[in-house]
Amino acid sequence: MSSELLAPLDLAFWHLESPAHPLHLGALAHFGPPPAPTAGDPGPPDLLSLLARRAAAVPRLRTRVQDVLLPVGGAAWAPDPDFDVRRHVHEIALTGADFRAEATRLAAALMERPVARGLPPWEMYLLSGAPDGSFAVLVKLHHALADGMRAVAIGAGIFDEIAGGRPTAPGGRPRSVPHRSRLPGPGRLLGIARDRIGDLGRAVEVGASVVRAGRLDARATAALAAESSGTRRIATATLPLDRIHRIRRTSGGTANDVLLAVVAGALRHWIDGRGLPLPGADPRALVPVSRRRPGVTAGPGNSLSGYLVDLPVTEPDPAARLAAVRRAMDRNKAAGPHRGAGAVALLADRLHPLAHRFGAPLASGAARLLFDLLVTQVPLPRSALSLGGAPLRALFPMAPLARGQSLAVAMSPYGGHVHVGLVADGVAVPDPEDLAAALTGELDLLDPLAETRAGPARDTP
């Protein structure tokens, strides 16, 4: 496998990271017990060895970042000549009475720690020790390695259903695919020139939108504001997918609109529960948008844009909150993912590698001027998944916190539920469990059948 230059956005993520602000994605996957052995069956597999073997067979997980001479300031993915999967895959036996709660607390501690930068930037942990034989796997992938959709494609390599059909070269080393290219003709060159001019125009437009969208006050961030402590707290929630679709059918819009409204209402109740005043302005969420085309195999690197959405926390009526989210998302979609301040990630493509290398300290604190929290949805395969025959029960995605950010909300539909992972700064948001519980309460407020069963639900004044 030959070297491959980091895409501009990957390079940005690589340089934006600091020891106190690691930029890795994560996922905490919970599995049921492996199937009981039958007569003549060799017994359950060694899960740690199985996990290590499958991870080592994923080509991207055998590469590390190294500097290159050209372009100046650039970096490339290159095979790690001393790759040893045992440096990346570990087992931790838990002993607490509540396995899931202990796994979540441990995941928070592990997510605080940056991945090693001199090695392929990823880690996996097998969390064992549940009395019934169930277990969990924590996966950490540096954001330079993959965006959410690509991370799913990489992480899926550990599952039985995907690993069984992956071709490898002798010795378990994946085959590299030769790259073929040819010089474009004059017509194609003219088309490329037009595209570049168009890209530059969009970049100027996005840059102007970023300046206009920047907020110099903290009216909307009082409940989430604190100097980044480098600590992490994690909480999880599970929402029934059929209820979300029922709300969508009743109110219109998309399932993602409903989930954004649920987050807005949960924030309102959480702020009220802490005895804090509602913000003077609604908090703004960055909603990442994949630029990958449906049906096209995910390529390497990050391919992201984003929308900015003011979450209507100050609106007391749940139905009006959902309507406000729908209107905001409709405006974003009409403009498209290449316009507006939310498309700030596209500016990375227009910067020289040296700008990423030396401008990262200045840019790292800019996130708080544009948005207050991250809300992202990570799609998973719809088919049932397993590891060593043990069925996947839940997968809670975890998004990174940029400098100055204190909350990231990531959601993944799987198995009839939406699994929500909340990653919070441990000082700014010391009680993410309360926020996770508020998500379920907000779903009750929006669900017409829940209202019929329990009587009219009312929001806090």
Q: Quick one: tokens of 224?
A: 């989430």
The pLDDT of residue 441: 92
Q: What sign for the dihedral angle of Cα 206, 345, 341, 208? A: negative
- C-alpha span between 21 and 227 (Å, rounded): 12
For residue 226, the model assigns a pLDDT of 64
Q: Give the Cα separation of 260 and 73 in Å (integer).
A: 39
d(CA 137, CA 31): 8
Contacts of 427 (CB under 8 A, 6+ apart): 226, 227, 229, 231
Identify the pLDDT of residue 222.
59
Return all residues near 148 (Cβ < 8 A) that are at least 6 apart: 25, 288, 290, 376, 378, 379, 397, 399, 410
pLDDT given for residue 455 in this prediction: 45
In which residue are the tokens 């110099």 written?
A: 216
Six-digit token pair at 350? Answer: 């227009």
Contact 253, 331 (CB under 8 A): no
Does residue 319 sit in helix, strand or coil? helix
Task: Give 195's DSSP letter.
Answer: H
pLDDT at 307: 85
Whole-number Å distance between alpha carbons of 266 and 272: 10
The answer to whether the beta carbons of residues 8 and 351 sit under 8 Å apart is: yes
Q: Please give the pLDDT value at position 153.
A: 75
Rounded distance between C-alpha atoms, residue 267 and residue 278, angstroms: 10
Q: What is the pLDDT along the chain (461 residues), one digit of tens a residue?
A: 467 888 877 888 888 888 888 889 999 999 999 887 766 565 557 899 999 999 999 998 999 999 888 888 888 999 999 999 999 999 999 998 899 999 999 999 999 999 999 999 999 999 999 999 999 999 999 988 876 667 777 877 889 888 765 444 333 343 333 333 333 444 443 443 444 334 434 444 444 444 444 554 444 455 676 667 788 999 999 999 999 999 999 888 899 999 999 999 999 999 999 888 888 889 989 888 765 554 545 455 555 567 889 999 999 999 999 999 999 999 888 877 665 554 445 445 555 566 656 555 555 566 666 788 999 998 888 889 999 999 999 999 999 988 878 999 999 999 999 999 999 999 889 999 999 999 999 999 998 765 544 444 444 43
Angle between helices 255-273 and 241-251 (to 10 degrees): 110
- Helix, strand or coil, per DSSP, at residue 38: coil
- What pLDDT, on the 0 to 100 scale, is given for residue 448? 74
What phi and psi values does residue 451 have, to the nearest 5 degrees? Answer: -70, -35
Q: What is the pLDDT of residue 161?
A: 81
3-class state of residue 369 by DSSP: helix
* Listed residue (91, 109, 10, 12) closest to 423, CA to CA: 109
Task: Give me the phi and psi of 73, to 5 degrees please.
Answer: 90, -5
Residue type for position 122: W
Q: What is the pLDDT of residue 332?
A: 85
Closest of 237, 146, 213, 258 to residue 372, by C-alpha = 213
Q: Any residues with CB less than 8 A from the CB of 246 and at least 6 apart, and which? A: 447, 448, 449
Residue 435: per-residue pLDDT? 96
CA dist 222 and 230 (Å) reads 19
Give the span between the Cα atoms of 86 and 48, in whole angstroms: 10
Element (H, E) at 267: helix 255-273
